[in-house]
Amino acid sequence: MKVCIIGAGIIGRVHLATLKNGGYDIIAVCDIDLSRANKVIEEFSLQAKAYSDYKEMLLTERPDGVHICTPHYLHAEMIIFALNNDINVLCEKPLCIKTDDIDKILLAEQSSNAILGVCHQNRYNKENLFIKDYLSSKKVISAHGQMVWHRDKAYYAQGEWRGKWDTEGGGVLINQALHTLDLMQWLLGVPTSLSATIDNVHLKDAIEVEDVAFINMDDGRYTFFATTCAGADFPVQLTFKLDDGSIVQVTDGNVIKDGQVIFSSLTDLGFGKECYGSGHIALINDFYAHVKDGKKFFIDGKEASKVIKIILATYQSKGNKITL
**Quick one: pLDDT band at residue 273, thresholds 50, 70, 90?**
low
pLDDT for the residue 266: 74
Task: Please tell me the distance from the alpha carbon of residue 105 to that of residue 76, in angstroms, as a whole number.
Answer: 7
pLDDT for the residue 270: 59
Neighbours of 24 (CB within 10 A): 20
Task: Please tell me the distance from the alpha carbon of residue 112 to that of residue 72, in angstroms, as a whole number.
Answer: 22
Digit-coded pLDDT (tens) for 229-259: 999 999 999 999 999 999 999 999 999 999 9
Q: Are residues 178 and 311 in the same domain?
A: yes
Contact 226, 213 (CB under 8 A): yes
Q: Are residues 254 and 239 in the same domain?
A: yes
Q: Is the dihedral of CA 137, 135, 240, 306 positive or negative?
A: negative
pLDDT for the residue 180: 97
pLDDT for the residue 279: 85
Q: Mean pLDDT throughout 284-295?
A: 97
Q: Are residues 176 and 86 in the same domain?
A: no
Name the pTM for this structure: 0.95
Q: Are residues 269 and 149 in the same domain?
A: yes
Q: Are residues 153 and 216 in the same domain?
A: yes
Judge whether residue 156 has pLDDT over 90: yes
Residue 29 class from Cβ within 10 Å (0-12 exposed, 13-18 middle, 19+ buried)? buried
pLDDT for the residue 255: 98
Q: Is 278 left (phi over 0), alpha (psi -120 to 50) or beta?
A: alpha
Q: What is the number of structural domains in the chain?
A: 2
DSSP helix/strand/coil, 224? strand
Q: Are residues 7 and 55 in the same domain?
A: yes
Q: Are residues 18 and 54 in the same domain?
A: yes
Q: Mean pLDDT throughout 218-228?
A: 97
Digit-coded pLDDT (tens) for 29-66: 999 999 999 999 999 999 999 999 999 999 999 999 99
Task: Please tell me the distance from the alpha carbon of residue 300 to that of residue 229, in angstroms, as a whole number.
Answer: 32
Q: Mean pLDDT throughout 151-157?
A: 94
pLDDT for the residue 291: 97
Q: Are residues 130 and 242 in the same domain?
A: yes
Judge whether residue 267 has pLDDT over 90: no
Task: Please tell me the distance from the alpha carbon of residue 106 to that of residue 103, in angstroms, as a whole number.
Answer: 5
Residue 8 belongs to domain with CATH number: 3.40.50.720
Q: Mean pLDDT throughout 108-115?
A: 98
Mean pLDDT of all residues belonging to the chain: 95
What percentage of the chain carries pLDDT values higher than 70? Answer: 97
pLDDT for the residue 107: 98
DSSP code at position 146:
E
pLDDT for the residue 110: 98
Q: Are residues 38 and 87 in the same domain?
A: yes
pLDDT for the residue 228: 97
DSSP helix/strand/coil, 123? helix
Residue 178 belongs to domain with CATH number: 3.30.360.10
Lowest mean pLDDT, pick from 149-158, 166-175, 207-216, 262-271: 262-271
For 168, phi then psi, to 5°, come to -90, -25
Digit-coded pLDDT (tens) for 185-219: 999 999 999 999 999 999 999 999 999 999 999 99
Q: Are residues 198 and 138 in the same domain?
A: yes
Q: Mean pLDDT throughout 11-36?
A: 96
Q: Structural domain of residue 254, as residue ranges?
A: 124-273+306-323
pLDDT for the residue 85: 98
**Quick one: pLDDT band at residue 271, thresholds 50, 70, 90?**
low
Contact 301, 95 (CB under 8 A): yes
Total residue length of the chain: 324
Q: Are residues 44 and 128 in the same domain?
A: no
Judge whether residue 274 has pLDDT over 90: no
pLDDT for the residue 248: 98
Q: Are residues 260 and 289 in the same domain?
A: no
